[in-house]
Amino acid sequence: MPDDMVEAHIRGVRKAVAAGWTVLERGGSSVDAVEEAIVMMEDDDTFDAGRGSFLNREGRVQLDALIMDGATLRAGGVGCVERLRNPVRAARKILSESPHVYFVAEGAERFAAEHGIDLCQNEDLVIPREIENLRRFQAEASRHDSVKDGNYLFTPEMTHDTVGAVALDRDGNIAAATSTGGTLNKAPGRLGDSSLIGCGCYADNQSAAVSTTGWGEPIMKLVLAKWTADRVAAGNLPDWAAREAMNYLEQRLNGHGGIIVLNAQGQFGIAHNTPRMAWAIKTKSIEEAGVERD
């Protein structure tokens, strides 16, 4: 993240973890908690989720989100939606009220509207900062082959800012959610890892709740969230599994990103192989937030 946005990221993740904790403190479920945490970040234009997301090469916002319940393995996901302020709300409706798992584009928007979620105009999700970011990127692309071929999109220094949350409730159930606007200047219709079960998001009480951020294509190829959860199921601690996932991502496909992991015993892990990643934690005994973790 740019130096001048570090404090905004810390404030954003603090608000998100507070929103999730409020749900848990009142006896709410882990699914409710991750939904509220994600909504807080979708509404904060600091992040690449909801309003303020990166623009695709046509100057439009296209959003993806997934939410998953570790107790039941039920999940709901949306992809390539353009008229939802909070795609995680639609994902939650799918989890709770649909026999299906995944809706995309107009079908997802139609499902959301039929279930009481207001639609917006795509212009409502676009902010001046991202119009300028796209203009600058496309100007660079016309001058440099390394940008034109798309490789610049996937350097560790390139902002991604996908948001995620994991939670454990008083009943011992875990949940995970991930939401994103994808990568800057992406092709229309491109889907990343964030909303795909086992790639950018996964939750199972028997292993772990996981959410990832970063370069989506390598994360998808490794089904990284499920890979990480499987390491926890095999008896490894979430902290080790998180760090090992980032090593695996880099060594196998030269990928980069970040990951948060939580098991049903309340043990957690945070890791990233990028210069920075914003994170926040709250338990009965711990409350921390930052952009670096040793």
Q: What are the catalytic residues? A: 162
Query: What tokens appear for 228 in the block?
Result: 């990480």
Q: Under DSSP, is residue 32 helix (H, G, I), strand (E, B) or coil?
A: helix
Q: Are 152 and 146 in contact (CB under 8 A)?
A: yes
Q: Which value, to the nearest 10 degrees, does the dihedral of the CA atoms of residues 176, 38, 109, 134 take?
A: -120
Order across the sheet with 63-69: list the strands.
102-104, 75-81, 63-69, 174-180, 163-168
The CA-based dihedral angle spanning residues 140, 142, 144, 150, taken in that order and rounded to the nearest 10 degrees: 80
Calpha distance 106→178 (Å, rounded): 20
Conformational region of residue 150, where left means phi above 0, alpha means psi within -120 to 50, and beta covers everything else? left
Separation of alpha carbons 53 and 129, rounded Å:
10
The Cα–Cα gap between 174 and 205 comes to 6
C-alpha pair distances (Å), 216 with each of 45, 91, 111? 21, 19, 26
Contact 178, 35 (CB under 8 A): no
